[in-house]
Amino acid sequence: MKNILLSVVLLCGLLTCSSFEQKRQFIVTSQGKVTSQIALKIKELGGNIIDSFVAASFAISVERPFSTGIGGGGFLMYFDKKMNKVYSYDFRERAPLAADRDMYLDQKGNYIKDSSRKGVLSVAVPGLVAGLYDIHKKHGKLPWKLLLKPAIELAESGFPVYPDLAKVLEKRKKLILSQGSMNKVFSKKSQVLQLGDSVIQKDLAKTLREIAIKGRNGFYDSWVTRQIVKTVKKAKGILSKKDFSSYQMKTRNAVEGKFLNFNVFSMPPPSSGGIHIIQMLKLAENLLKNNKKTSVSNKDYEKIIAIMQRAYKDRADYLGDADFVKVPVKKLVSDAYLSQIVQLIKNQKSYINKDHIKNPKIQENEETTHFNIVDDSEGMISSTQTINGWWGSGVMAEGTGVILNNEMDDFSVKAGVPNMFGAIGGLQNAIAPQKTPLSSMSPTLIFDQDNKMHMSLGAPGGTRIITCVWQTVLKSLWYKQSLKDAVNGPRIHQQWSPDKVEFEKSLDSSVQKYLLAKGYPLKERVSPCKVQAVKLSAKKMIGVSDSRGEGHVLRLSY
Ligand code: GLY
């Protein structure tokens, strides 16, 4: 393999990286230190950004096993500069063939507590490996095997427990210590691993080696498949070998929209993210006061809350897997429809209270992971990947090191029953065999008026992802804040139901007082989103990783 000549490598500060160099620029922003290093190393070896993406996806699966992994799935938005084309790939989990609309209800039709969230019944058919394999086949340059090598080495030789991991091990210690396979990996002397302890994942390395050798079949038609099905069947789950052999990644058409002079491309259904980000940007353009100031006024905050509320009402009413139900994508982002919403918001005297769900308990922290890889000569990668909740279903398939997702909880398990993010769904998002649960993951790409690459961003954070990504874009493009301020500044969140407006402590106290006096049901909460973003302009490319999390931005000039 021919190595490229690297003239400058700048290892940046942990959370931000920028440069005025005139050379070619490559930036990766991820939540994993080793993952970012691996993405960059693949570039050094002569890989393209898809190669870096594949290697980074396997690496982050090893490095942040509580939030993502090969037992889960995700989305990719990819701009190929040479082809001048945006690709939108869906390798999210699908409902098993034996799934049923009422599978989480008892004989009286009541939801069986936690049944969609914990254990083998919460597991949907994983899609990550199939997605990576097909995407690599279509766009990759380096050999598949080589891209798995760094992840295999990481799983085998291990890495020290970092603060985020120590926190989630402590929070889930009862689960980890009681689950044989997980206990073997994540505990020592009957205690969960502590900060600085080494995490060694030998079984996962064995599984990754099988995938390196056999490609897609290494996960979907091998001893790994048999072990997963056996573990699930033993605990009375419904995943079958046929679920694995029939899994297919799907190529989607991105949702597109104009905001100011920018063109925004984001993830279409089964994600709700793209539609609502574009809806909310267009509503903002019509409703916010002016874009001359970098600060957000009290009145703008009221409009921002109303915009979020209307978008999430649409999410509950219309969104689902468009292969199974009709989702009026074009209508929801159309000027005609949005001008009706603008009028509704303009006529709205105050916050609309919803009386049906006051404050459902949020069961878990929102995990998932996001990373961007941008090369100004090649294109942009924005990918969000997940096993859903912390440690997914809490089930590790015996002898494989694979932690299985609990993505079934992203379906509306029963109309009116909130999922673990407190979101209510309708029949559009009801369970059906092979259907994809509705997602909020919002990998997004933005281009300027000359169709030049401008931004790549996304975040983890459950239903909050959409408002986090939207506010970051808004602050950067409308309020013209620096990317660092746009990512790290205070956020708010309203999702129609439950009836509350989340805000961060750092929100200006005068804004807090104003909203409180106006009767908004405020609730303080740190934003769970760890936004990762890269911004490009004529001379400068900057990468920012949210200061709320453990981000790792690395740059290469060559
Ligand atoms: N599981 C989180 C999401 O897909 O939005």
- Atom number, ligand 1, closest to the C-alpha of residue 421: 2
- Could you give the CA distance from residue 51 to residue 147 in angstroms, rounded to a whole number? 7
Tens-place pLDDT, residues 200-240? 999 999 999 999 999 999 999 999 999 999 999 999 999 99
**What pLDDT is attached to residue 295?**
85
Q: How many whole angstroms from 439 Cα to the centroid of ligand 1?
A: 4
Model confidence at 425, pLDDT cuts 50, 70, 90, reads: low
Of 412 and 41, more confident: 41
Residue nearest to atom 1 of ligand 1 (CA): 388
Distance (angstroms) between ligand 1 centre and the Cα of 170 equals 23
Distance CA 555, CA 558 (A): 10
Q: What's the confidence (pLDDT) of residue 11?
A: 46
Average pLDDT on 420-433 reads 81
- Predicted local confidence at residue 372, as pLDDT: 98
Q: State the average pLDDT over residues 541-548.
A: 97
pLDDT at site 1: 38
User: What digits encode the pLDDT tens for the residues 343-378?
Assistant: 999 998 888 877 555 545 555 456 799 999 999 999
Residue 62 Cα to ligand 1 middle (Å)? 19
Residue appearing with tokens 């459902």: 360
Q: How far is Cα 314 from Cα 320, in angstroms, rounded to an integer? A: 11
Tokens coding 454? 């401008």
**CA of 557 relative to ligand 1 center, distance in Å:** 34
User: 178 pLDDT exceeds 90?
Assistant: yes
Confidence of residue 31 (pLDDT cuts 50, 70, 90): very high
Is the pLDDT assigned to residue 494 strictly greater than 70?
yes
**Residue to substitute in 76, 439, 442, 464 for testing ligand 1 pocket (most ligand atoms within 8 angstroms of CB):** 439
The protein residue whose alpha carbon is closest to atom 3 in ligand 1 is 439
463 is catalytic: no
What's the pLDDT at 180? 86
Q: Measured between alpha carbons, how far is 366 from 528 in angstroms, rounded to an integer? A: 6
In the prediction, which pLDDT does 253 show?
97
Residue 168 belongs to what H/E stretch? helix 163-171
Atom of ligand 1 nearest to the CA of 409: 1
pTM of this prediction?
0.94
Q: What whole-number distance in Å separates Cα of residue 468 and Cα of residue 460?
A: 9
Q: Which residue has the higher pLDDT, 198 or 296?
A: 198
Q: Does residue 164 have a pLDDT over 70?
A: yes
Please say if the pLDDT value at position 426 is more than 90.
no
Which tokens is 546 given? 């949210």
Pocket test for ligand 1, best of 436, 444, 465 (most atoms within 8 A of CB): 465
The whole-number pLDDT of residue 22 equals 66
CA angle in degrees (0–180, nearest 5) for 98-412-116 = 60
The DSSP string of 388-445 is SSTTTTSEEETTTTEEEP-GGGGS-SSTT---TTS----GGG---TTPPPPB----EE
Q: How confident is the model at residue 497 (pLDDT cuts 50, 70, 90)?
A: confident
Q: Which of 7-21, 45-59, 278-292, 365-379: highest mean pLDDT?
A: 45-59
**Residue 419 pLDDT:** 73
CA distance 364 to 390: 7
Radius of gyration in angstroms for the set of CA atoms belonging to the chain, rounded to a whole number: 22
3-state secondary structure labels for all residues of 122-164: HCCECCHHHHHHHHHHHHCCCCHHHHHHHHHHHHHHCEECCHH
For the stretch 59-98, pLDDT in tens is: 999 999 999 999 999 999 999 999 999 999 999 999 999 9
Question: Which structure tokens are listed for 17?
Answer: 């990286």
Find the catalytic residue in 368, 444, 463, 467: 368
| Predicted confidence band of residue 51 (pLDDT cuts 50, 70, 90) | very high
pLDDT of residue 496: 87
In whole angstroms, give the CA distance from residue 1 to residue 380: 24
Res 13 pLDDT > 80: no
Look over the chain and give the mean of its residue pLDDT values, rounded to a whole number: 92
- The predicted pLDDT at position 48 comes to 98
- Asked if pLDDT for residue 268 goes beyond 70, the answer is yes
Tens digits of residue pLDDT in 373-400: 999 999 999 999 999 999 999 999 999 9
501-503 and 522-524 beta bridge pairing: parallel
Task: Find the 388 Cα to ligand 1 centroid distance in Å.
Answer: 6
Pocket of ligand 1 (CB under 6 A): 368, 386, 388, 410, 439-441, 462
Give, for 305, the enclosing helix (H) or strand (E). helix 298-318
The band of 6, judged by pLDDT with boundaries at 50, 70 and 90, is: very low
Q: How far apart are CA 390 and CA 368, in angstroms?
A: 8
Closest CA to 97 of 250, 238, 217: 238
Please compute, for residue 284, the number of CA atoms within 13 A of its CA located in the half-sphere on the CB side. 27
- In this prediction, residue 10 carries a pLDDT of 44
pLDDT at 8: 38
Of 150-164, 284-298, 357-371, which one has max mean pLDDT? 150-164
Whole-number Å distance, alpha carbon 131 to ligand 1 midpoint, is 17
Q: Whose CA is nearest to atom 4 of ligand 1?
A: 439
For residue 9, pLDDT beyond 50: no
Phi/psi at 314 (5° precision): -60, -40
Average pLDDT of span 97-121: 94
Which ligand 1 atom is the nearest neighbour of the CA of 407?
1
**CA-273 nearest atom, ligand 1:** 5
Q: Which of 407, 435, 464 to mutate to test the pocket of ligand 1 (most atoms within 8 A of CB)?
A: 407
Query: With b meaning 16 or more CB within 10 Å and e meaning fewer, what string describes 64-73?
Result: bbbbbbbbbb
pLDDT of residue 17: 62
